[in-house]
Amino acid sequence: MFLLTSQDWISEERRQQLGGPPVDFREHNLFEKVPISELREKSENAALQAEYLDRAALAPLYKNITSEYLKSGELFFERLLEDLEKAERFIYLEFFIIGKGKLWDRFLEVLERKAAEGVDVKIIYDDFGTILRMSAKYPEELAKKGIKCGVFQRFLPIITGTYMNRNHRKICVIDGIIAYTGGVNLADEYANIITRFGHWYDSGIRVEGEAAHGFMMMFLSMWNYVFKLNPSMKVHELPEISLLGENRSDGYCIPFCDSPVDDEPVGMNSYISMISKAQRYIYICTPYLSLDESILSALSIAVKSGVDVKIVVPGIPDKKLVNMVTKSYYEPLLNAGVRVYEYTPGFMHSKTIVADDDYGICGSINFSFRSFHLNYESAVWLYKTKSVLQMRDAFLELLPECTEITKEHCKSTPYLVKVARDVLSIFAPLV
């Protein structure tokens, strides 16, 4: 298990092949730097969270933004398609999964038309995530349509440590002015066009303004890695942010990413930082749970400090063995005072955490070992934005559709099932 999942033994040469040192996005920021001291005047706790992401993720703070939380895959894709129609300079799309179907047909029609109009269209997808959905020669098919396509780490039937590292990010950037991230992938089930595992609950966020440039830099850094290009973020002129209008004051945000070779679990630590600073509530949505002691401890301390901690997980799993690992954490979470809910209508795939009407994180990062330590991930940290309140409201609207798990549920679980869950939890790094 250690050889399959640990990054410590990877040679420096292989580490460079996996992307090398993290890109310092602060150095490539085209806009006037927003000092964290400005945030500190409003909230010491917010400043501490932002300081961590500045130092660990090398990600700058932005404030000239507007944001919108999109509480379903259907809404996410409709908003994104509307923005794609308005693209004039470039469209960047990066997903773990792209699958042929009705949704992809709609996107492909727009992308092909935009490419014909002279818009620079670039797509990245993960080979492992898409291997059963697209042919190995699909990038060549897209090239004939004027669409440039890069594939992250071609799948090889050889199990190595780096075989476990996948590009799980979800990033969309339009003209450097609009950006999206969240839990969704570009396939029919994410918009409930087809039914898999009941109703598929997913979400994402739309950011407009200077912060879109942060997502653009993330995409370009991955594009450079996939095509082995010299690192460069300065391929476009400064976006005309003034086109957004006068009212762009919607709090603060930090787009950030995490990778298996940055020597620090930035995603996990950003969650812990928010959990440890919450004073009233913490609401979490995640499809998978494989928690180490640091997360369990942070959640336990929060509850014992009087914070209301609620977690929603799937009622209908997409992978039964993986869901057994999730269920193995019910009892320790309940013993710590955390309230756990299953989304009864189907599969919960949203990845969000919101606290105190002040803070939120939305992106691709699951509460799992794989997301925290093995995958390339993306997200946005938010402070005092309207999207934070939208995330809160969406979570509260969700609870009536959920079944709360109690200690009685855990006690009624057959002994052999508990043993099987505990055994499977050993393999949490593979989840």
Q: Could you tell me the residue ranges of all domains in the chain?
A: 2-430
**DSSP character string of 342-388:** EETTEEE---EEEETTTEEEEES--BSHIIIIISBEEEEEEES-HHH
Q: Is 373 a catalytic residue?
A: no
Q: Exactly one of 175, 188, 202, 258 is catalytic; which is it?
A: 175
Q: Looking at residue 232, what is its pLDDT?
A: 59
| CATH class as words, domain 2-430 | alpha beta
Q: Exactly one of 28, 114, 122, 170 is catalytic; which is it?
A: 170
β 339-343/308-314 pair status: parallel
Q: Exactly one of 349, 358, 373, 384 is catalytic; which is it?
A: 349
Task: Give 10-residue mean pLDDT values along the chain (431 residues).
Answer: 45 56 76 91 96 96 95 98 96 97 98 97 94 91 97 72 81 96 97 97 96 93 86 55 55 95 91 98 97 94 98 95 90 96 98 98 96 95 98 98 92 72 66 55
Q: Is 409 a catalytic residue?
A: no
Q: Are 56 and 264 in contact (CB under 8 A)?
A: yes
Phi, psi (deg, nearest 5) at residue 358: -115, -45
Q: Exactly one of 126, 258, 356, 358 is catalytic; which is it?
A: 356
Q: Is 170 a catalytic residue?
A: yes
Q: Which of 39, 41, 42 is nearest to 50 (CA)?
A: 39
Question: Which residues, 6+ apart, have CB-to-CB distance to 311 below 8 Å?
Answer: 284, 285, 286, 289, 333, 338, 339, 340, 341, 367
Q: Could you tell me the two tokens for 167?
A: 């590009």
Q: Could you tell me the two tokens for 368?
A: 């799992």
Q: Exactly one of 28, 63, 71, 168 is catalytic; which is it?
A: 168
Can you give the pTM of this predicted structure? 0.92
Q: Is 213 a catalytic residue?
A: no
Question: Which residues, 6+ apart, have CB-to-CB distance to 144 below 8 Å?
Answer: none
Q: Is 28 a catalytic residue?
A: no
Distances (CA, A) of 200 to 184, 197, 262, 288, 392: 10, 7, 32, 14, 19
Q: Looking at residue 25, what is its pLDDT?
A: 82
Q: Is 168 a catalytic residue?
A: yes
